[in-house]
Structure 1
Amino acid sequence: MNAWAATSSCTPRCARHTAPRVSAPRLACRYAALVGSLAAGAAAGERLADRRTMRLRAAAVLRALGIRVTLTVPGAAALSAPRPPGGPGTLIVADHISWLDVLTLLAVEPVTVLAKREVGRWPLLGPLARKAGTRFIDREGLRALPHVVAELAGLLREGRSVLVFPQGTTWCSAAAGRFRRATFQAAVDAGAPVRPVTVTYAQHGIPSTVAAFLGDEGFGRSLHRVAAAGGLTVRVTVHPPLEPAVDRRALAERAQRVIRAGEPPAHG
């Protein structure tokens, strides 16, 4: 296994409802609202790269699916750390559970997202992700890794904040898998702060894995499970930034400890 690729022991069977599904009429209304929201995003064209437009469109998709977002941001107003004039952007690192993670975080603050290449080919969301300026990477391409790290460092030096998922793949909770160190090298090279973010899902207040997108599950099946979920809430906890460091291994370990400490158990 290379420094970029990752595999998860979680399978689609890990994704389960912890609350009754919505009724068929409610589900139909959600799908209709989703189609309308995605159509509005497509109609925005190149304007989707505008920060305000991106935030509004991401939030609209979540609303269409009946998902509520709760945000805890101690001492801050966004995902990015405060930036002095001419200073670097922030490397935002989060646990990776679902395709909803990206939408949720973009609804908080539009930033540049690093995603696996397959996302760009997804129906519905793929075209929108490309228009929003998402950077796609080949997780199996070890030789491309130095180029990806250099590109990330360049974006950070320009003052742009970048969202990455260092677990490399999705798990049913943040307590699984380990953070890979490669993307942290970009923060080291750019002298950029790292902002750990914990993303958790619950249904009517009960921790839930219903949103998890795992293994070889198709996007359509995952979307249907999410759309049918009752009382689904995403909680985003934005932790204090970690100052620039010279050791990417220690930086990755610190970030993962902080994120795991902010997550409740996913299974009752």
Structure 2
Amino acid sequence: MSVWLPSAPCTPGACVEPTGSVTAAPRAVLRLTGVTLLVLTGIVLIPIGGRIPAGLVGRWCRAIVRAAGVRIRLTGAAAPTGGLLLVANHVSWLDIPLLAAVRPARMLAKTEIRQWPVAGALAARAGVLFIERDRLRALPDTVARIAHTLRQGAAVVAFPEGSTWCGRAQGHFHRAVFQAALDAGVPVQPVRLRYRLAGGAASTAPAFVGEDTLLASLWRVASARGLVAEVEVRPVIPPGTHPDRRSLARAAEPAAHGPARTHAALVTPGAALGDRSPSAA
């Protein structure tokens, strides 16, 4: 299996709590209508032959999250200017627009997304770096492209778990993307993403895992009441403080994960593996 293709044992049936009720349906429809209108607006505003300005992408992404009924709570250190590798734990499709609130950045994504209707065109115009996850021989070229982007002073967002997890369970950080930060001589900044209800209890409702469909995940988020996305930006790991990608990944992982959690009580034995991640690495 390619280093770009790890899988998580999380599944909707075992890990994701149901949300909403019959009375929540009208609210969900209104929220999804708002999300749809914002997406359509993004399509209309795509400049012909150009790239969407980074600042506009960030504001647009935050508006989509809020239209879905999710409040954003951003805390922690400020992201520095210049080349920067942002790494985070991966729970949901919501993670991608949320990280745009930290700093305008180029996202790593699997090459299949380029073929998605609407989303593929938007991703390409937003400067997404597409990677071929099923071709191990393409890994050196991918790392070189990421390093080149970092040397140019851009921020790059990666999810080193390589797959979405439910939020109560987490995966290990894979090392490949950290080599790009070492080669470019740029800092790494971990970001911790958590989803909670308004009362403070952790929620797995936004998780996009296993055989889950995007439509089912969208409806679950839109029909939930009081979802809060917590985006905690952790201190920067300066360049030159770790000699290799293994130690750099080991330093970034606990900063993004927080206290260790176990998954044993949350999944059934032999649960089907699945990668619903819209991103990679």
Unaligned segments of structure 1, at least 5 residues: 84-88
Match of 2:147 among 137, 147, 153: 153
| In 1, Cα distance between equivalents of 2:168 and 2:37 | 32
Counterpart AA for 1:94: A
- Alignment counterpart, residue 76 of structure 2, candidates 73, 76, 83: 73
- Conserved 8 A contact 1:15-1:212: yes
User: Which residue does the alignment assign to 2:10?
Assistant: 10
Matched with 1:258 is 255
Contact 2:43–2:118, Cα closer than 8 Å, also in 1: no
For residues 111 and 74 of structure 2, the distance between their equivalents in structure 1, rounded to whole angstroms, comes to: 29
Residues 152, 168 of structure 1: alpha-carbon distance in 2 compared, 3 angstrom cutoff: same
CA distance in 1 between partners of 2:118 and 2:164 (Å): 20
State the shift of 1:118 in Å: 3.1
Cα 1:234/1:29, change in 2 over 3 Å: same
Runs of 4+ in 1 over 6 A off after TM superposition: 18-22, 262-268
Structure 1 CA distance for aligned equivalents of residues 148 and 24 of structure 2? 48
Distance 1:235 1:216, change over 3 A: same
Question: Over aligned residue pairs, what C-alpha RMSD do you find?
Answer: 2.4
TM superposition score normalised by structure 2: 0.85
Is 1:249 the counterpart of 2:246? The answer is yes
Measure, in 2, the Cα distance between the counterparts of 1:184 and 1:227: 35
Q: 2:195, 2:206 within 8 Å by CA — same for their partners in 1?
A: yes
- The letter of the residue matching 1:32 is T
Q: How far apart in 1 are the matches of 2:141 and 2:20?
A: 44
What is the number of residues matched between the two proteins?
259
The SS at the match of 1:207 is coil
Which structure exhibits the higher relative contact order, with contacts defined as CA atoms closer than 8 Å and separated by 6 or more residues?
2
- Which structure 2 segments of 5+ residues have no match? 267-281
**1:220 corresponds to:** 215
Structural mapping, 1:36-115, within 5 Å: 36-46=37-47, 49-74=52-77, 76=78, 80-83=79-82, 89-115=83-109
- The secondary structure found in structure 2 opposite 1:49 is coil
8 Å contact from structure 1 (residues 122, 219) kept in 2: no
Relative distance call for 1:253 and 1:188 in structure 2 (3 A) is same
Preserved CA contact (<8 Å) 1:116 1:136: yes
- 1:106-125: per-residue Cα shift (whole Å, max 9, x none)? 13322000012233344553
Would the aligned equivalents of 2:54 and 2:126 in 1 still touch at CA under 8 Å? no
Instruction: Name the aligned partner's letter for residue 256 of structure 2.
Output: I
Go from structure 1 to structure 2 and tell me whether the alpha carbon gap of 1:174 and 1:190 turns closer, same or farther (over 3 Å shift): farther
- Residue 23 of structure 1 aligns to a residue in which SS? helix
Q: Secondary structure at the match of 2:249?
A: helix
Q: What is the deviation of 1:48?
A: 6.0
Deviation of 1:2 after TM superposition, in Å, equals 2.9
1:168 Cα deviation from its structure 2 partner: 0.6
Equivalent-residue separation in structure 2 for 1:180 and 1:231 (angstroms) = 33
- For residues 56 and 246 of structure 2, what CA distance do their matches in structure 1 show? 36
Structure 1 counterpart of 2:12, one-letter code: P
Task: Say whether residues 1:193 and 2:187 are aligned partners.
Answer: yes
Q: What corresponds to 1:25 in structure 2?
A: 26
Where does residue 86 of structure 1 map in the other structure?
A: none
Q: What corresponds to 1:209 in structure 2?
A: 204
Mapped partners of 1:145, 1:253: distance in 2: 20
1:195/1:241 contact within 8 Å kept: yes
2-side partners of 1:135 and 1:94: how far apart? 17
Aligned residue for 1:206, secondary structure, equals coil
**Partner SS, residue 42 of structure 2:** helix
1:67/1:48 Cα in 2 relative to 1: closer, same or farther (>3 Å)? farther
Q: Distance in 2 between matches of 1:43 and 1:120?
A: 18
